[in-house]
A and B are shown apart, each in its own frame.
Chain A
Amino acid sequence: MTAWNIRPIASALWRNRTGAILVAFQIAIGLAVLVNAVYVVKQRVEKIGRPNGMDTANMIWVASAGFAKDYDYKAAYSEDLATLRGLPGVKAASLFSNIPLSGGGSSSGYQSRPGEVGPKETVPGNKYDVDEQALAALGVKLIAGRPFEAHEILPPSETYEDSPQAIVTRAFAKELFPKDENFLGKTFYNGIGEPMTIIGVIEHMHGAWVGWDKLDNVVLFPRVKNGPSSIYLVRTEPGRRDAVMRDIEAKLGDSNPGRLLRWVRPFDYFINQSYLDDRNMAIFLVSVTSALLAITALGIFGLATFNVSTRIRQIGTRRAVGARRMDIVRHYLVENWMVTTAGVVAGCGAALGIGYWISVKYELPRLDLYYLVGGVLTIWLIGLAAALQPARRASTISPAVASRTV
């Protein structure tokens, strides 16, 4: 007799295999889902949590849309900026052509030399037209050069001119000039050969679309876009954002009857919106996977309970002929472990198959085997925990049962 009595346990299990097979199937599905869900959720959490380089918590966006025929937008934005910059608690305010991380924006291809270049040499960048307070309003870190100065800002014009100066992120500069380390004073070109000089380099900042792999490529131009709709970025002293938002609504709400103050929103609003699908996917996966594992655990529990209740007399007999309580508990835990392991073996195949499909569909690296190991251990633990109570109950069956009904 071996210490663990594997053979008799296996043969007892085999005599009543239907229930065990059903549970093993559940475990196989549970493992496959668990491993891949954890993998996908981790990707999403990392995506949502990556730093965007800006002082997000203290930033406010304001949108104004002029509609009256006689609306003088040039006067209006100067007045608005003066009002915003004069509010207590405001550190800086700048015009912006679009809102980063909002899913809306503008991008262009740039190149390191003029003339016709192939698609491989074209470097895409998220571009924003801003004024001299932009860097202070973003709260980004300037690692070289200087911010724009007020006299450098190109006024709005009916024709669209690119500006001769630009501040860029390091990621963008590095992609344009892969061999260089110092990008200050370097010239790059737009698609029609107009040159621009880099006067400042930002350490890191995110552009418009969170799903784009060129999110880190940002180009700022000193320019005010034309037209009656304006977007302002306001950065406040730490902790004063909400108070400043109320002030802005009060001050700009009806300051000009020819325009509509469309909204005043914290930056978080746009960031949450952009990551909404990722966040929801993570929430879905976590909740459905937990529910699935809970149901599987109930299935394991149900099987063990059933196996105990149909074998009361046999257990009593075993106890009567000398088995200790420990032996009974061990019997059920080992039996259950066998079922779990059968499921785990089948589940590993399914997990890898689904993992492969997901890595192809999402263009992610192949599923790491650590996830599989972690998943197997988790399932084993869940299985043990679920079988513990029925096993304990079995061990309390009195040896006297054996003699009662025979």
Chain B
Amino acid sequence: MFGYYLELAFRNLKRNPGLTALMIGAVALGIAVCVLTLTLYRAMSGNPIWWKNDVLYAVTMDFWDPQEPAWDDKPHLPPTQLTYRDAMAVYASDIPQRKVIMHKAVGILSVDGQGMLPERAATRVTTKDFFAMFDVPFQYGGTWTDAADAGPEPVLVISRKINEKLFGGANSVGRRIRWNDNEFRIVGVRDHWMPLPTFYDVNNDVLEEPEDVYIPFGWSVALELDSTGNTNGWKPEDIKTYQQFLNAEVIWIQMWAELPDEATRNRFQAFLDNYAMEQKRAGRYQRPLNNRLTKVDQWLVDNNVVGNDDRVLVGLAFAFLAVCLLNTVGLLLAKFLNGASITGVRRALGASRKQVFYQHLVEVGLVSSIGALLGLALGALLLAGLRSLYTVDPTDAGGTQAIAHVDVTSVVTALLLAFFATLAAGLYPAWRIGRIPPASYLKAQ
């Protein structure tokens, strides 16, 4: 019976090609816009490491200005980063299963004896657990040791992209490379990794590609590096030397801890609170005790990673889809009622209401399937357009452009949404047409 209904549906759709095109077009456009905004929204709001949401915690501590909270609009939150001295003190704890302290830097890479121009590379100065903690994949080699962090030893990890540029993609573990003219040995090559957003450091553009080079944290002090991310302070202080900078009430270091269970989490929280109480006695931490361990999903909300613009756009996309669907319902209704005389004959010849309902539902299904497919194609096209919208300079790699790939999950979501929404929208016209008393149409013939 389904095959026959499908054939009927095709025939019906061909009867008014203009109306059919309009319906399919409306569904397709609605889906395309939804694919577009959902992709954007997911890129912004998705938790890119959801499988570790219960064990990963951002560490923040409130030592800020006693007169003023760190955030005007969210006074209950501590600042997003730590001072150097607090980071070092908390990192010394062995309660977390894994822990990382880090900041952003910039280095110039060069390889001796290679006739290549030096390469500027965004660098993360971090500790050895970074890769295991955030499930960062390796193409070759691996991370460094505890000793390398403290030493610090001249070892580093480069990205697959840099490895392809400098070493043609060969296994470069053990090779020497210069970072800001200091000789380092490569111990690992990070594979493709693109967490969207870059939850582990929300200070700058969260749609940027992760850093291309990773060096042990000890190099920060050894080379007197400061952060190329965000540095912020509350206290007027006389900071003239690097040592004064390290001791200052200035935040520039991000800290994360991996705490496998509730008990460990509580122990670590107690450790943080103890530390803050000690500091209180020493005259620091004058605000109410407020040290937080924040899970990734809450972290993204706290840090406004999803902006108002994104919310407005998603709302707009759904308003758009609603209009498209209302339109389709209206058109379907008009179309079915137009063909009511044929339905009347069918009913008179013995088709039950149920059969008439199913027959029209198949037609609705056909419209929504074609619309969904076209919408997907159109959505892909719009995403390509989006990429050009976000590109200021086409030679810039990665960055915001990375969001403009078709994201499978959001496509499937939008497709299912559109297909079932259209089908649901078609229920009423299909039901309505089945209710028509056949006699009234037979009379007029």
Contacts and interface: CB of A to CB of B under 8 A. Distances in A.
Q: Do A and B bind each other?
A: yes
Interface in B389-403: 389-390, 392-393, 400
B164 to A, nearest CB: 20
A309 interface: yes
A26 B323 contact: yes
B239 to A, nearest CB: 7
B interface secondary structure, majority: helix
B241 interface: yes
B142 interface: no
Interface size band for A:
35 or more
A29 to B, nearest CB: 5
Given A159-B240, A288-B320, A295-B323, A277 B309 contact: yes
Which of B322, B392, B393, B400 gathers the greatest number of chain A CB atoms within 10 Å?
B392
A160 B323 contact: no
Contacts, number: 132
B323 A119 contact: no
A192 B432 CA distance: 78
A303 B392 CA distance: 44
Interface stretch (B76-84, B89-97, B333-341, B366-374): B333-341
Nearest to B33: A288
B26 A310 contact: no
B236 A192 contact: yes
Given A69-B181, A269-B393, A26 B237 contact: no
Given A276-B392, A291-B33, A302 B118 contact: no
Given A299-B326, A302-B331, A65 B19 contact: no
Contacts of A191: 235-237
B431 to A, nearest CB: 11
Contact of B389 (A18, A29, A193, A283): A283
Contacts of B338: 306, 309-310
A40 B323 contact: no
A29 B323 contact: yes
Interface in B162-182: 178, 180-181
A302 B308 contact: no
B47 interface: no
A339 to B, nearest CB: 11
B22 interface: yes
B389 A280 contact: yes
Given A69-B181, A260-B120, A285-B316, A29 B322 contact: yes
A373 B311 CA distance: 26
A302 B334 contact: yes
Interface in B319-351: 319-320, 322-324, 326-327, 329-331, 333-334, 337-338
Interface in A375-402: none
A19 B335 CA distance: 11
A interface secondary structure, majority: helix
A298 interface: yes
B22 A298 contact: yes
Given A65-B108, A298-B327, A19 B334 contact: yes
A20 B322 CA distance: 16
Contacts of B312: 40, 281, 358, 361
Contacts of A255: none
Contacts of A354: 315
Interface string A18-45: 1100110110011011000100100000
Nearest to B65: A119
Interface in B295-319: 308-309, 311-313, 315-317, 319
Interface string A259-295: 0101001000100110011001101110011011001
Interface residues of B, number: 55
A354 B180 CA distance: 53
B392 A272 contact: yes
A118 B67 contact: yes
Contacts of A23: 326, 330
Interface string B53-94: 000000000000101100000000000000000000000000
A284 B120 CA distance: 34
A295 B29 contact: yes
A114 B180 CA distance: 41
A190 interface: yes
B236 A190 contact: yes
Contacts of A160: 239-240
Contacts of B65: 119
Contacts of B334: 19, 302-303, 305-306
A288 B317 contact: yes
A262 B120 contact: yes
Nearest to A25: B326
A29 B321 CA distance: 11
B323 A30 contact: yes
Contact of B308 (A295, A299, A362): A362
B117 interface: yes
B403 to A, nearest CB: 11
B238 interface: yes
B250 to A, nearest CB: 12
Contact of B326 (A22, A67, A265, A280): A22
Contact of B324 (A25, A37, A280, A295): A295
Contacts of B316: 33, 37, 284-285, 288-289
A26 B326 contact: yes
Contacts of A265: 393
A18 B323 contact: no
Nearest to A303: B330
A115 to B, nearest CB: 10
Contacts of B45: none
B320 to A, nearest CB: 5
A26 B327 contact: yes
A22 B329 contact: yes
A34 B108 CA distance: 50
B39 interface: no
5 contacts: A22-B326, A33-B320, A71-B181, A302-B331, A361-B311
The 6 closest A-B pairs by CB, nearest first: A191-B236, A67-B108, A306-B334, A159-B240, A22-B330, A299-B327
Given A260-B117, A302-B22, 9 more contacts: A23-B326, A29-B323, A33-B319, A119-B67, A191-B236, A288-B33, A292-B320, A292-B323, A299-B330
